[in-house]
Structure 1
């Protein structure tokens, strides 16, 4: 399976964002491939087949989805052309904006939780945008395509802005749909399972209990109680344990500085990292590294 990397699409490593419009020809087969970056795909017209994780889906106009790095997928054209927009980007390009967007439960589900929901048989991987929202979304994609093509001064800022506005628009659209179709029978246990799976992948991100509680449709206190009952630990304790495990691995397996280790493990405050590490491990990070080296 071919793996596309940053150098295949991004002109500059300092601005990892790319957009183009692609036409899947009649009967064209695009072999299975994956990417080292996120890919947002929007279907303008057509009905090509899209395969992910061994399941084949029929695309339709208005379908929108985000694929995480490493997700293999392929396409098969039908008897008509299928036109799509592809937006490739690294999450670091939108680090601060994504942190703010994560306060919106619908965005959390669309962007962060989808990889785990794909593991369930009942999950449909696309959001279909319709009506006024579709017109607005297509206008933003068209603007992004032109800005990326002509690359006039300030185009990077405009591309970021349009992409963030798209995420907000989609989140609001999802909110309306989910308010109309909310299924009250969703089991709390299923949500906690998904949250635990998500935490194991995203524990270095600035995700908080209140964000997960909103996403699950629970009050913070109810979510905290259910999380502790299921895992045996509080949300904060569980997240910290994952972060400290990563910090210990980096201290033992790499030569990164203590500051780099702290940041990669999800700690922005170095003094707080020192305090938590000493409290949990019984020694400061430098001593822990030396001890592991001497073993």
Structure 2
């Protein structure tokens, strides 16, 4: 199964809301685009957690181009897809690599968002591209997190730097980058402790970890990726805003898209935070993870509607 088929499968819950509900708005002779229709389509789009700004933009597009006309479902779907591609437009480069030396990637997020699994999938992706990887187990407050990351490092055949329990995470980050430089490793991925965006002291700690990495490589970290759990929907937006401020996030890794009907939160993130969605996860396996492709995402979202 290719990633597009995995993505379709992962977005099935979101797609079912969109496609079944939109289909129910139409009869064989089509449907007049009037105020009643616009309100109905608005309610359907809201169910996927696209957010007010994005939904308004989509409804406005339909109203501007089709109001007063009798159209078929295919016309509405085509208009929605075109507008969504516009709303999701972003740079196609998921990772900004260092001009020379190791590329440092810092990963943060709340507990349970899928951070450790996402790091393992990132490491696997880099390895499959022929790059060497070292992991920094910066979640020193949770023994299970270090143990889990160590297991992944062994499975993937990548190096790992750990610290003593309760050691300062910044020291682990420093030593991980130090090792990457000494070993001429291509990519250093630094894990951080899961935290709530309301825990001010822990959010301040993210800045210290950034500073520790920068002591080794002044322009690093090159990427600060925030792992968000797609099943949290709009709640993920407030998480992202706080983390982006504290850690200087450069992009989002959206995990667990396969477990939710709120896949539209991708659109809300792009519109409200102006942070790129860099990677998405639609399952537990390494193959269920890939760089975010907006065209592919939109096609998968409406695949059932068009029988793709």
What interval of TM-score do these two structures reach, taking the shorter chain for normalisation? under 0.3
Larger relative contact order, structure 1 or 2 (CA cutoff 8 Å, min sep 6): 2
TM-score normalised according to structure 2 size:
0.22
TM-score normalised according to structure 1 size:
0.23
